[in-house]
Each structure stands twice: as C-alpha cells, then as structure tokens.
Amino acid sequence: MDLAEIVTHSRKPREAAIPAKTPVAIVQAKMPPELKSSAEEVFAALGLTPAEAIRVFYKQVELHQGLPFDLKIPAQATKSPTPPAKKPKENAIASEDIDDLGANANIDALFNNL
C-alpha cells in the first residue's frame, strides 16, 4: 500500500451535507490568502469544511434576518475614538469623600449629597 492509499483509507467518509440530486448554487469570494488559511484552520478545528462553514453562516443570516453579529466601526477608525468626558455635577461626591464614608456609610447621606 503506497502513501496515497494510506491517506485515502485513513479518512473517514463524510456524509454528504447536500443530497446528490438537490439543486445547488455556487458562491465565490475573493480574499487574502492569509485570511482564507487562518479561517480554514479554525473550521478544521471545529470539524467543518469551508463549504459547511459557509452554509452555517448563510443559515444564521436566514434565521436572524440579518447578520448574526453586530457590525461596529472600530474605535480607532472613528473621528472621536471615545466620547467626550461628562463634566461632573457641581454637587457630586468627590472620590475622596466616598473613601471617608467607608463601607458602613448611610445610603441616605450618599443620596443627599447627589
């Protein structure tokens, strides 16, 4: 038995995800080779082929009637990465005053200072 036969025989036959006579549509996408490789490593670790992973994604889009995750612009890509700090209220309790009140502080005293 040569190496090709060993590899062929060592693989477990997979059940067809789509029955043979079912009509199919083909999806093609261009992406950086590094992205494809790293994603396929994750798929393999999950026991999925790339085609199965794509079908899972499409099914989730169908079930959610949208993307199955939130799309957000990363903070560094926005004009203002963090919202401007709010000005403290004039009657706000200073942090050192909170420390002075301690764990046994009266809650009414805290709210009266707000």
CB 64 within 8 A of CB 58: no
Confidence of residue 33 (pLDDT cuts 50, 70, 90): very high
Name the residue with tokens 């082929």. Answer: 49
Question: What's at 46, amino acid-wise?
Answer: L
CA distance 53 to 64: 16
- Residue-wise pLDDT tens digits, 92-105: 555 555 555 555 55
Domain 9-83 has CATH 1.10.1220: yes
Q: What is the pLDDT of residues 48-77, one digit of tens each?
A: 999 999 999 999 999 999 999 988 888 776
pLDDT at 105: 55
- 87 vs 66, more confident: 66
Q: Is 11 helix (H, G, I), strand (E, B) or coil?
A: coil
For the chain, what are the domain ranges? 9-83
Q: What is the pTM of this model?
A: 0.49
